[in-house]
Structure 1
Amino acid sequence: MTRRVLTVVGARPQFVKAAAVSRAIRETDGLTEVMVHTGQHFDADMSDIFFDELDIPAPAHRLEIHGGGHGEMTGRMLGAIEPVLIAEKPDWVIVYGDTNSTLAGALAAAKLHIPIAHVEAGLRSFNRRMPEEVNRVLTDHISSLHLCPTRAAIDSLAREGIRDGVHHVGDVMYDATLFATGRAEKASNILDQLKVEHKKYGVATVHRPDNTDSPERLRFVIDYLRKQAATQPIVFPLHPRTRQTAERLGIAFDGLTMTGPVGYLDMAKLLHGASAVFTDSGGLQKEAYFHRVPCVTMRDETEWTETVDHGWNRLWKGPDFVVRRDIDEYGDGRAAFRIAELLKR
């Protein structure tokens, strides 16, 4: 019997994770996939380029929902996803990470009694002010299959009473990094375009509402990056929300090497050649480790505590790096195939 899997994605990090799992689904007998793109990230540089570069099948459904507050966006997505689920009749709904698309997809499935598989289940920052934290906690509590990247994630679920359907599969971002790095070395000329030299520049990204919604906080972040740029160039791919806020507040980016959003292959090339990463992104903290580049997280907490414990990451206002060690729990690059086998079983 063929099992029908419906995947809900909407934001840039989800495209990367879904690319790895989609490839595994296509190579697993007995599974077929339908993809739904909510439209949360709708800019071509934040969306379409990822489908092209990472060999992701074109979404069967594009909902084109973006903008508005968190509640409004999530509600519109919920209303649009429900009729798709009724029409497609999937055996599983897969959701990724912690965005509004994640929660909307999970809620729509739960109300129709369709089992949910949550990729990156169990992550916790323990900061309920973050919309992402609320999304991931609620999604975990209505999911049937919890696909955890780390043992710490399993422990977090157990503390909340979630023990059934919990699996340590490894990190699909590692799968994606292995796939993309070889392609990026051949296809990307981003270093030449930006006139930066291998291991002689840093990479920065800023997009979290905690950093972009407060004028004082955003000014502090940009000042911090300018100080880092005093010792080496800092390449700063600018998220559309960060750009809009900075323009409204009159915040300049003097001294930083600015660029628009970059594709996944260009980012893989940038990360591989960087000497340091400065970010508020969850995914980029891990990707920095995959490329063995030290990372400074411009937040007051992180979901990926093992990157700090193993010396590859630190919080910008916290202690310095500890002695570096390899992290063994992200897996061997086969997390996506473990997920496909679990869905099949």
Structure 2
Amino acid sequence: MIKLTIVAGARPNFMKIAPLIHQLQKKQEEGKAISFRLVHTGQHYDKNLSDTFFEELKIPKPDANLMVGGGTQAEQTAGIMIGFEKELAENPSDLVIVVGDVTSTMACSIVAKKANVKVAHIEAGIRSFDLTMPEEINRMVTDSITDYFFTTSSYANENLKKAGIEDDCIFFVGNIMIDSLVKNLERIEKPSFFDELQTSDKKYLVLTMHRPANVDNKENLERYLDNITSFAKDFTIVFPIHPRTKPIVEAIGKHYPNLEIVEPQPYLKFIYLLKNAAGVITDSGGITEEATYLHIPCITLRENTERPETCVLGSNVLVGNDFKALEENIKKITENNWKKVQIPELWDGQTANRIVDILFDLPL
């Protein structure tokens, strides 16, 4: 019997673990000797950013919730490590599976390795090469101690090889978050507020902002909002506001006539907004992948990306804080003049199948 421990901690993780769990459940129904425990670290503690994803994506309730909650990077990391060390001691595992690049990913990898438990990292090898991003440090630390690397792109493969990772530990399987997107496209739901907006399909933009560099400084965030609302003045801008961003926007205290601030959206409702938008302006990495698959124009408010395939092949364009480039690209969206989009290799909805097949062949 192979015993797995699957770790999830924050919103992006849930879309990545759902297809994996569904595929593992299928193998169990076929009589395969494999079991898993789902551990939720509680890193995201807002219900709209956490609980609803288990319900929507048909993920079983976690076997354990470490309930770490908020705090500084160090406080969260320490809390997760203390809780996960106890979890792993009480429930031995052959392999700990971590996904993405959140604090939980790094913290649980360290605990597992110190307990002499092997680690598999789904979405390994992606790099922004920007050490001001907490996520980049999480990626680097996790991949430095990981045993098995499941990658989304050739870029990720090359990053790992340059770091000295042996080829037989790297598995190019595709993008597991696209599995969730493909499976749920027919289930997306119109948000209750949508019909009240003074807009229609392809006549609005979606805006998301949560990165510290963009939102923690009040003047910086205000400048972004001033320019975005001005450049897209003929479009409604739907802004599902992250808990981190909300108090800063409230402190700015401005009313923008074409900016509709709404609560964080459950997955199925957010994908509805994204799929029917003229475009999206974001500082998220995952949204650039979803937008690429859906062929939705995407402007990223960052100087770099750990997902270069979304720019080279996909629908993504980096503008950072270059407001001239922001204006030019918003104009391209509003004039329906975006670049041609290709979906990257193996972003086909079958990544979880490939991962689970490989798990049975690993020397655990």
Residue of structure 1 in register with 2:187 after alignment: 183
Residue of structure 2 in register with 1:274 after alignment: 277
Taking the aligned partners of 1:192 and 1:246, their CA distance within structure 2 comes to 24
Q: Which shifted more, 311-320 or 274-283? A: 311-320
- Whether contact under 8 Å (1:92, 1:115) holds in the other structure is yes
Distance 1:254 1:194, change over 3 A: closer
Residue of structure 1 in register with 2:75 after alignment: 72
> Rg bigger for which structure?
2
Asked if residue 23 in structure 1 is aligned to residue 27 in structure 2, the reply is no
- Whether contact under 8 Å (1:279, 1:298) holds in the other structure is yes
Distance 1:190 1:90, change over 3 A: farther
Asked if residue 337 in structure 1 is aligned to residue 353 in structure 2, the reply is yes
Matches for 1:104-183 after TM superposition, within 5 Å: 104-163=107-166, 164-183=168-187
- Post-superposition offset of 1:251: 5.5
- Whether contact under 8 Å (2:123, 2:152) holds in the other structure is yes
Residue of structure 1 in register with 2:303 after alignment: 300
Aligned residue identity for 1:217 = N
Aligned residue identity for 1:46 = L
- Post-superposition offset of 1:248: 3.9
Aligned residue identity for 2:176 = V
Aligned residue identity for 2:188 = A
- Post-superposition offset of 1:98: 0.8
Taking the aligned partners of 2:154 and 2:314, their CA distance within structure 1 comes to 18
- Post-superposition offset of 1:253: 5.0
- Whether contact under 8 Å (2:295, 2:341) holds in the other structure is no
- Whether contact under 8 Å (1:190, 1:266) holds in the other structure is no
Taking the aligned partners of 1:144 and 1:197, their CA distance within structure 2 comes to 48
Structure 2 residue matching 1:27: 3-state secondary structure:
helix
What is the TM-score normalised by the length of structure 2? 0.89
What is the count of residue pairs matched by the alignment?
Answer: 343
Asked if residue 32 in structure 1 is aligned to residue 35 in structure 2, the reply is yes
Taking the aligned partners of 2:7 and 2:46, their CA distance within structure 1 comes to 18
Structure 2 residue matching 1:240: 3-state secondary structure:
coil
Give ranges in structure 1 of 5+ residues lacking alignment. none
Structure 2 residue matching 1:192: 3-state secondary structure:
helix
- Post-superposition offset of 1:189: 5.5
- Whether contact under 8 Å (2:124, 2:143) holds in the other structure is yes
RMSD: 1.9
- Whether contact under 8 Å (1:63, 1:80) holds in the other structure is yes
- Post-superposition offset of 1:102: 0.8
Aligned residue identity for 2:33 = G
Which of the numbers 200, 204, 208 marks the counterpart of 2:203?
A: 200
Residue of structure 2 in register with 1:243 after alignment: 246
Residue of structure 2 in register with 1:260 after alignment: 263
Structure 1 residue matching 2:37: 3-state secondary structure:
strand
Residue-by-residue CA offset, 1:181-222 (whole Å, 9 max, x unaligned): 11115x765632545311111111001111122223222222
- Post-superposition offset of 1:80: 0.8
Aligned residue identity for 1:23 = H
Q: Percent identity?
A: 38
Taking the aligned partners of 1:47 and 1:228, their CA distance within structure 2 comes to 33
- Post-superposition offset of 1:229: 3.5
- Post-superposition offset of 1:110: 0.8
Taking the aligned partners of 1:325 and 1:174, their CA distance within structure 2 comes to 16
Asked if residue 103 in structure 1 is aligned to residue 106 in structure 2, the reply is yes
- Post-superposition offset of 1:143: 0.6
Distance 1:188 1:245, change over 3 A: closer
Distance 1:254 1:108, change over 3 A: farther
